Amino acid sequence: MAARTRLGVWWRMLRPFTLVASVAPVLGGTALAYAEGGFHAGRFCAFLLAAILIQSATNMFNEYFDYVRGLDTREHVGIAGTIVRDGVSPRLVISLAWAFLGTAVALGLYIAATSSWWVFGVGLLCLGVAFLYSGGPLPLSSTPLGELAAGLFMGPVMIVLIYYTQALRVTATAVWVAVPIGLMIGAILLANNIRDIEADRAGGRHTLPIVLGRTAAVGVLAGAFVLAYGVTLGLVAAGRLSPWALLVLLSLPSAVRPVRLFLREREPARLHPAVKGVAQVLARFGALLVLGLLLSVWV
């Protein structure tokens, strides 16, 4: 395999469009702390790298355990399945996943040593969830709790952690700001599971779209977007966020497109752009929120 091709395979296995789910919470929590007078460059860089490593490891665990359980095939839609399609060694995949988590733990020790040790304990809990999402006897990804676990631990929990490591305190505003981002992170997994509903049903999974039904699941997806924007508007109205935070409304049209696609299409291959579209909503929402928080200080 040519070097360029190998690089492309490994890049796909990291599932780059999903990495926004680790970057957005870190940038959002840091920007909020900065707007309130708190910033620590070393902890920010360490937290950002640790978050990306944990997300990448989670993707690799998912890749490995889906292969072990026979859930990935050459016909699988999306960017998963590099083991079955591209011949990547399963042992190498799982070894790298553990190496990534080990590096994240080392970074967590630095973060905790320079802030508070309770941060390290919560961080270890997040690592456990990252593994149990795909690993263990009953993976969270095979239950209706997958979206909830991802949205909670990568949204509110992560944002409160990064906010604390920057500001050395926890505020109600930090918790509320975490809610929209958590909802959108859960929406990425929900979109993925709506696309894969038939394949997951055949594989014996009981994901949220399978339990609720496809139509209701699309309704939950749309509702998550409505609630995310609604909470942000409420925070501005309550004076907890500057009116600059209303910049997030510029991302609203990009939230409508994937929902319409899910309502119109059912073929998994045609729905993959909708899954990526949901990730792009988080990227745009997060970027605009960070910009709004920074402008509240600079302008």
pLDDT, one tens digit per residue, over 226-271 is 999 999 999 999 999 999 999 999 999 999 999 999 999 999 989 9
The whole-number pLDDT of residue 92 equals 87
Tokens at residue 289, please?
């929120």
Q: Report d(CA 52, CA 59) in Å as an integer.
A: 11
What pTM was estimated for this model as a whole? 0.90
CB-based contact 120:108 (threshold 8 Å): yes
CB-based contact 186:151 (threshold 8 Å): yes
Tokens at residue 238, please?
């309550």
Which CATH class name applies to 17-294? mainly alpha
Q: Identify the residue whose tokens are 């752009």.
A: 273
Which residues lie closer than 8 Å to 40 by C-beta, 6 or more apart?
A: 114, 115, 165, 166
Tokens at residue 240, please?
């907890």
Q: Report d(CA 155, CA 28) in Å as an integer.
A: 10
Residues of the chain with pLDDT under 50: 4
The whole-number pLDDT of residue 9 equals 65
Which residues lie closer than 8 Å to 83 by C-beta, 6 or more apart?
A: 63, 64, 67, 72, 89, 90, 93
Question: Of the candidates 226, 220, 273, which has an alpha carbon nearest to the alpha carbon of residue 252?
Answer: 226
The whole-number pLDDT of residue 76 equals 55
DSSP 3-state assignment of 210?
Answer: helix
CA 129 to chain centre: 13
- How crowded is residue 132: how many other Cβ atoms within 10 Å of its Cβ? 16
> What single DSSP character describes residue 18?
G
The whole-number pLDDT of residue 130 equals 87
The whole-number pLDDT of residue 81 equals 63
Tokens at residue 241, please?
């966020």
Which residues lie closer than 8 Å to 31 by C-beta, 6 or more apart?
A: 289, 290, 293, 294
The whole-number pLDDT of residue 108 equals 96
